[in-house]
């Protein structure tokens, strides 16, 4: 099911009302769902491999803490930030300044100029993302949440 953008994100506490949370696709809603955004975002960084390693490890530790607490929404939000770490670092690895399009309306792309440091940052986040995607508990909880709430 698609992420529900009709919810009042300013007043909804998804820890208290997890039934309102929809997994959505990829990173949908990553910067909207509180209190998780406020908890995870300050740790999300990918500028250098060292920073990406520290960030991915902290966010993965948060994922494990949410898992220990039985908090699927927190687990999924940590997964989204890990995924977003990979995709944003990859974008900056491919395009200086992170700008893929020269002219988005015309579909004109900037030339790729691979930055090996950002590519390494993307790989670091990819490793944690792979761990989460292979986590049987996460997969079971995700399926159960989607079955119960859409």
Q: Is residue 71 part of a domain?
A: yes
Taking 50 as the pLDDT cut, the residues of the chain under it are none
pLDDT of residue 100: 86
Question: Which pLDDT tens digit goes with each residue over 41-62?
Answer: 999 999 999 999 999 999 999 9
Q: Is residue 52 part of a domain?
A: yes
pLDDT of residue 138: 97
How many domains, the chain? 1
Q: Is residue 82 part of a domain?
A: yes
- Domain range holding 144? 31-149
Q: Is residue 39 part of a domain?
A: yes
In the block, which residue shows the tokens 């949370």?
Answer: 21
Q: Is residue 126 part of a domain?
A: yes
């Amino acid at each position: 099911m698609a992420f529900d953008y009709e919810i009042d994100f300013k007043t909804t506490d998804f820890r208290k009302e997890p039934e309102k949370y929809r997994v959505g696709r990829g990173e949908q809603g990553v910067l909207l769902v509180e209190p998780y955004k406020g908890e995870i975002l300050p740790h999300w960084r990918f500028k250098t491999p060292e920073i990406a390693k520290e960030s991915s490890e902290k966010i993965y530790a948060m994922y494990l803490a949410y898992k220990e607490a039985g908090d699927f929404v927190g687990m999924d939000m940590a997964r989204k930030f890990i995924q977003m770490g990979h995709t944003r670092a990859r974008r900056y690895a491919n395009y200086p300044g992170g700008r893929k399009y020269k002219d988005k309306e015309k579909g004109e792309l900037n030339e790729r100029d691979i930055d090996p440091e950002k590519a390494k940052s993307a790989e670091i986040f990819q490793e944690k993302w792979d761990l989460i995607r292979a986590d049987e508990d996460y997969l079971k909880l995700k399926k159960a949440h989607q079955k119960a709430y859409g």
